[in-house]
Amino acid sequence: MNSDELKGKWNQLKGSAKSQWGKLTDDDLTQVEGDRDKLVGKIQEKYGVAREEAEKQVNDWDTAA
């Protein structure tokens, strides 16, 4: 899914993202606003993983969504 598709479907995908990354709050997900880079940054921040790992997780989630 490209960046525009993610932004367009973000309200539908927030629940899936919250299930995938339970440490992300509703406020975190609202701040992300469907922006892939912001989502990666929030995952890094909340889970203490490297950017590459966070990007891999988002890619895996995106493929499954």
**pLDDT category of residue 20 using cuts at 50, 70 and 90:** very high
How many C-beta atoms lie closer than 10 Å to residue 52's C-beta? Answer: 10
Percent of the chain with pLDDT over 90: 77
Predicted local distance difference test score (pLDDT) of residue 4: 81
Tell me the whole-structure pTM to 2 decimals: 0.89
| C-alpha distances in Å from residue 13, one per residue of 48, 49, 50 | 23, 22, 23
In order of their start, the domains of the chain are 3-64 (1.10.1470.10)
**pLDDT category of residue 56 using cuts at 50, 70 and 90:** very high
